[in-house]
Amino acid sequence: MSLENIEKPVPSDFIRDIVAKHVAEEKYPRIHTRFPPEPNGYLHIGHAKSICLNFGIAREFGGICNLRMDDTNPTKEEIEYVESIQTDVNWLIGDWAEDRLGLKPKGKTPQTISGDGKRDFIQPAIFGTSEAERKNSTTPFEPFYASDYFDQIYDYAEQLIEKGKAFVCDLSAADMELYRGAPDRPGQDSPFRNRSAEENLDLFQRMKAGEFPDGARTLRAKIDMASSNVWLRDPILYRIKHAEHHHTGAKWCIYPMYDFAHCLSDYIEGVTHSICTLEFEVHRPLYDWILESLHLPRALPKQYEFAKLIPSHTIVSKRKLIALVQDKIVTGWDDPRLPTISGIRRRGVTATALRNFAIGVGVTKYISLTDVAVYEHAIREDLNKRSLRRLAVLRPIKVVITNYPEGKVEELDAVNNPEDLNAGKRQIPFSRELFIERDDFAEVPPPKFFRLKPGGEVRLKYAFIIKCDEVVKDAAGNITELRCTADLDSKMGGPTAGRKVKGTIHWVSAAHAIDAEVRLYDRLFTEAEPEKDGRDYRTVLNPNSLEVITAKCEPSLNHADANERYQFERLAYFTLDKDSTPGKPVFNRTITLKDAWAKEAQKG
């Protein structure tokens, strides 16, 4: 079984309970969910939860999950985002749910079916393929687009007008706000509410034909201006926007609103369970009203809502993320400190780890703050199992082994991954002059310091036990070199190999070490809730969220593989960054190892 396929027990939550019940009742021929982002920004960790929920359900119940661009507002959406969304979704679902991904042949628009003298629109999904198969296929696939249904949605709007359930309204935006009332105060009917179906049809067609400027008129549902639910107070279905659309070009100058387009898109695609976040709870009656008013021939989709993921020590709102990029607080959408999926990926977090986290937080209707420590645990748990161990010294100090011959080099065996012996071994060169970590030596050791100290002994990982004989300093009193003697019998297999010394430290041979740029990433914010009580998140930025250093690495790291994950022993997990060039590797620190000594040292 591959690492990717090691999964936690199947989760259970209130939505899955509902789905399981529907499966038992055979309510639908097949469970069909969808993940419907608006292509107006990059996907982030919150979307990851939604992706895992929707694809997870498809996977557990033998269903399909469509990827759909919810692109009904041309002024906010761009192709760049459409592409990044596809990349991120494919990466996240990987071989976990790739065969549940519902797509369609490129360019395909809904079929029209006539039965009982009634039109019906259907946009079926193709699924059951792997990403590799799709790439090699002669027929290109693409995600679904709400904008592919503009003709059908327009048709539905006319049907509503004919039924007397929608009207063209000439109220200005300001007047409409006045007429809407407030949550605790009823609204008033629009003076245009009782236009005839013929007049409405004519006006709506002229809206489509481009006769009116932006904002001049809207198409509104005729529901109830006195409803306690503001979303039922004759909500806008269509607005005029003379704007080019990234997918439909200049074809339209009227665009449906989210509420009108979404439920109908779900219906056209045969979605059974339309899962969204809690803020849409109050929209649900409208979702149902539109579908029921149209008297559609097939089973209607139902909307279910869950609480979105709010991770601590970060921000997730699209607007704020854009600000971080624009203010150059981070380097771009894929900055490894960002909670965007592209940033998370670049940081070195695996799709498996992100999924385990996103699934592990559970699905409820309670709005909670998820401690970033839970996320970090999921990353470490995954990386511990898969990462290749390597020796690297971040902040070097020179050590000379005085009883080791000058010019001698020996290759020592080192295990690649103690958690997976199949990962094999490699050899590391050892010689007279080494680098060890500055923090691993203390001239005046604090209590419980297990590392190198004057007159003390420590184990060099995979090598000898050494003893510090002399501390060499420059004129300013800075330590420049440690002179040590090795117990030459103490290496693996040697007579004194079993000798117990309290500490084991990492090292590299000075002559053989390669330099690598290492980017040490940390949390972007120092506070769990950067914007708590309306505070400006800029006041709680972590000044140390990125530190760039040059590290001394064992030679094998010259051939580091971008698809691998590495643990620099005793330090942290790293992955190769895309900025690497041949001979000049750049490593990103994904997450530190747990550091029990740091905790202990803090107590003292």
For RNA, the binding residue among 3, 250, 299, 373 (CB under 7 A) is: 373
Residue whose C-alpha is closest to residue 10's, from 96, 116, 77: 96
Does residue 176 interact with RNA by CB under 7 A?
yes
Question: Please, what is the minimum distance in Å from the beta carbon of residue 387 to RNA?
Answer: 8
Backbone angles phi, psi at 390, to 5 degrees: -140, 155
**Which residues in 303-332 contact RNA (CB under 7 A)?**
307
Does residue 244 interact with RNA by CB under 7 A?
no
Nearer to RNA, 405 or 493 (CB): 493
- Residues 569 and 506: their CA atoms lie apart, in Å, by 7
For RNA, the binding residue among 377, 395, 512, 523 (CB under 7 A) is: 377
Does residue 12 interact with RNA by CB under 7 A?
yes
**Which residues in 27-46 contact RNA (CB under 7 A)?**
36, 38
Question: Please, what is the minimum distance in Å from the beta carbon of residue 284 to RNA?
Answer: 8
Show Cβ contacts of residue 89 under 8 Å, excluding neighbours closer than 6 positions. 35, 43, 51, 67, 101
- Judged by CB under 7 A, the stretch of 102-110, 137-145, 331-339, 377-385 that binds RNA is 377-385
- Judged by CB under 7 A, the stretch of 177-185, 339-347, 428-436, 512-520 that binds RNA is 177-185
Does residue 580 interact with RNA by CB under 7 A?
no
Q: Encoding tokens for residue 218?
A: 């809207």
Nearer to RNA, 280 or 333 (CB): 280
For RNA, the binding residue among 190, 218, 274, 314 (CB under 7 A) is: 218
- Residues 379 and 464: their CA atoms lie apart, in Å, by 32
Residue whose C-alpha is closest to residue 35's, from 20, 46, 24: 46
Does residue 72 interact with RNA by CB under 7 A?
yes
Nearer to RNA, 100 or 390 (CB): 390
For RNA, the binding residue among 3, 6, 10, 14 (CB under 7 A) is: 14
- One-character DSSP codes across 70-94: ----TTT--HHHHHHHHHHHHHHHH
Nearer to RNA, 319 or 578 (CB): 319
- Judged by CB under 7 A, the stretch of 120-128, 361-369, 395-403, 538-546 that binds RNA is 361-369
Does residue 282 interact with RNA by CB under 7 A?
yes
Question: Please, what is the minimum distance in Å from the beta carbon of residue 99 to RNA?
Answer: 26
Question: Please, what is the minimum distance in Å from the beta carbon of residue 492 to RNA?
Answer: 4
Q: State the burial class of residue 578 (Cβ atoms within 10 Å of its Cβ: 0-12, 13-18, 19+).
A: exposed
Nearer to RNA, 99 or 450 (CB): 450
Cα of first residue to Cα of last residue in the chain, in angstroms, is 45
Residue whose C-alpha is closest to residue 7's, from 422, 352, 349: 352
Does residue 558 interact with RNA by CB under 7 A?
no
Does residue 286 interact with RNA by CB under 7 A?
no
Does residue 497 interact with RNA by CB under 7 A?
yes
Does residue 451 interact with RNA by CB under 7 A?
yes
Question: Please, what is the minimum distance in Å from the beta carbon of residue 238 to RNA?
Answer: 8
**Which residues in 182-334 belong to E strands, given as ranges?**
218-221, 236-240, 254-256, 273-277, 302-306
- Residues 393 and 386: their CA atoms lie apart, in Å, by 21
For RNA, the binding residue among 128, 215, 297, 424 (CB under 7 A) is: 215
For RNA, the binding residue among 3, 10, 17, 539 (CB under 7 A) is: 17
Residue whose C-alpha is closest to residue 220's, from 235, 233, 206: 235
Per-residue x/- marks for RNA, 96-115, CB under 7 A? --------------------
**Which residues in 582-601 contact RNA (CB under 7 A)?**
593-597, 599-600
Contact 261, 114 (CB under 8 A): no
For RNA, the binding residue among 3, 79, 173, 549 (CB under 7 A) is: 173
**Which residues in 390-409 contact RNA (CB under 7 A)?**
none
Does residue 534 interact with RNA by CB under 7 A?
no
**Which residues in 182-211 contact RNA (CB under 7 A)?**
182-184
Burial 278-310 (b: 16+ CB within 10 A, else e): eebeebbebbebbbebbebeeebbbbbbbbbbb
Helix/strand/coil (H/E/C) assignment for every residue in 139-194:
CCEECEEHHHHHHHHHHHHHHHHHCCCEEEECCCHHHHHHHHCECCECCCCCCCCC
- Residues 123 and 151: their CA atoms lie apart, in Å, by 13
Longest dimension (CA), the chain: 102
Per-residue x/- marks for RNA, 248-277, CB under 7 A? -------x-xx---x---------------
Show Cβ contacts of residue 205 under 8 Å, excluding neighbours closer than 6 positions. none
For RNA, the binding residue among 22, 76, 193, 467 (CB under 7 A) is: 76
Does residue 80 interact with RNA by CB under 7 A?
no
- Residues 542 and 525: their CA atoms lie apart, in Å, by 5
Show Cβ contacts of residue 594 under 8 Å, excluding neighbours closer than 6 positions. 380
Does residue 171 interact with RNA by CB under 7 A?
yes
For RNA, the binding residue among 379, 463, 468, 591 (CB under 7 A) is: 463
- Number of residues this chain uses to bind RNA (CB under 7 A): 91
